């Protein structure tokens, strides 16, 4: 059997209503995440795409991904983001880039759910 690196990726469509959400992924509080695209759901995929919702009382705590760049696209809500030594305020329509091996977090602002599209590239080694 060919390993994942040699499998040709094929197109696919996923909807959050068809994927089990993950409650409170590591280093997240009062959060739900839907891992839509990854090497397990799409053999051959070299990245991950998630939708994540952090409730107003929740948080994304300090985290570092040693091998993966991260992109967050804000769908709704507002947050203060820390990326390394820099602070940003992000809201709907903003894309936040986090280089690999950089500490980052989100502090939710206001009373609205913070909903983001999340990309990891390359995909993490957790989909075995």
Residue extents of the structural domains in the chain: 21-121
- Omega before residue 84 within 30° of 0, cis: no
- Rounded to whole angstroms, the Cα distance separating 59 from 76 reads 15
pLDDT at residue 9, rounded to an integer? 78
Q: What is the pTM of this model?
A: 0.91
Question: What is the pLDDT tens value at each position of the chain, 128 positions in all?
Answer: 445 456 777 899 999 999 999 999 899 999 999 999 999 999 999 999 999 999 999 999 999 999 999 999 999 999 999 999 999 999 999 999 999 999 999 999 999 999 999 999 999 998 87
Question: For residue 120, which of 75, 70, 46 has the smallest C-alpha distance?
Answer: 70
CA atoms within 13 A on the CB side of 47: 9
User: 113: Cβ–Cβ under 8 A, 6 or more apart, which residues?
Assistant: 53, 54, 55, 56, 76, 77
What is the architecture of the domain spanning 21-121?
Answer: Sandwich (2.60)
Question: For residue 94, which of 80, 74, 113, 115 has the smallest C-alpha distance?
Answer: 74
């Amino acid at each position: 059997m060919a390993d994942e690196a040699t499998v040709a990726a094929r197109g696919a469509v996923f909807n959050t209503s068809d994927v089990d959400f993950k409650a409170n992924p590591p280093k997240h509080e009062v959060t739900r995440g839907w891992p839509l695209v990854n090497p397990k759901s799409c053999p051959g995929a070299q990245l991950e795409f998630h939708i994540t919702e952090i409730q107003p009382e929740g948080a994304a705590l300090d985290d570092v991904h040693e091998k993966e760049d991260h992109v967050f696209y804000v769908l709704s809500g507002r947050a203060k983001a820390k990326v390394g030594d820099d602070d940003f305020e992000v809201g709907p329509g903003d894309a936040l880039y986090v280089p690999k091996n950089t500490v980052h977090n989100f502090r939710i602002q206001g009373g609205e759910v913070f909903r983001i599209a999340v990309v990891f590239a390359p995909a993490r080694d957790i989909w075995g």
